[in-house]
Amino acid sequence: MKLFTFLISFIMITITTSSAQQRLLTRNGTVSFFSKTALETIEAHTQTAASVFDKQTGQIEFRVLIKSFEFEKALMHEHFNENYLESDKFPKSVFEGRIDDPLKVDFSHEGTYTQPVTGQLTIHGETKKITTPVIFVIQKTSVNAVAEFSILLADYKISIPGIVKDKISKSVNIRVKLKYETAPL
């Protein structure tokens, strides 16, 4: 009986430990975006993105609160939240996707892999399918995922009023940096 109990406990601990290691998370990922025109460069950053990454299935999800983005100028911050992204109505932006071929990333050794990730990106209540190359850096105690891609504001029904139209680019560059702590390799 004691042996049976021990075996069951051992098996359960092994399963939960390995699934805990399989599913990585970060609570303070970085998301930045840049808009560049002849008139002005606008950028905003946040270090509050939450993300879960399943190494086995290759599924990645990240969420960010629109109000967390910080701008240099207060007026831009206000217009961004009140008018362009309407953050009271649409408080979060979400990405849910998957590495196209997760087997191409070897998580058991240190290394760098660039692999396409495809998923659904939701901004301002609009969802669009995107595919972007992501650089995975496997280190001794962390996995870093970095992606850079562009979006068209019109795709997410983000409209910029005529008066400042020339100051904001129609396509905006987004950079995501997620660092997941792992058990040592």
Partner 1 sequence: MKNWIRRYQIVILIGLGILAVAATYGFKEYNRKLPDTHQLKADFQIEAVDFVRQFEADGSSATTQYSDKVIDVQGFVSSVEVTDTSGTVFLNGGSSKSSVMCEFGQKTFQEIKELRIGERIIIKGVCTGYLMDVVMVRCVLTDKTSVFPELVFFAALF
Residues that bind partner 1 (CB under 8 A): 25, 27-28, 46-50, 63-65, 67-68, 70-75, 77, 91-92
Nearer to partner 1, 36 or 92 (CB): 92
Cβ-Cβ contacts under 8 Å for 148 (sequence gap 6 or more): 132, 173, 174, 175, 176
CB of 107 to partner 1, least distance (A): 22
Nearer to partner 1, 68 or 115 (CB): 68
Nearer to partner 1, 80 or 136 (CB): 80
Gap between the Cα atoms of 32 and 175, Å rounded: 5
SS3 20: helix
CB of 136 to partner 1, least distance (A): 20
Nearer to partner 1, 72 or 101 (CB): 72
CB of 88 to partner 1, least distance (A): 8
DSSP for 21-32 reads HHEEEEEEEEEE
Detail the DSSP E strand segments found in 37-87: 41-54, 59-65, 70-71
CB of 70 to partner 1, least distance (A): 7
Cα-only R_g, the chain: 20
CB of 115 to partner 1, least distance (A): 25
Nearer to partner 1, 41 or 114 (CB): 41
- Amino acid (1-letter code) at residue 17: T
Residue 136 CA: distances (Å) to CA of 81, 96, 117, 128, 157: 32, 17, 11, 23, 31
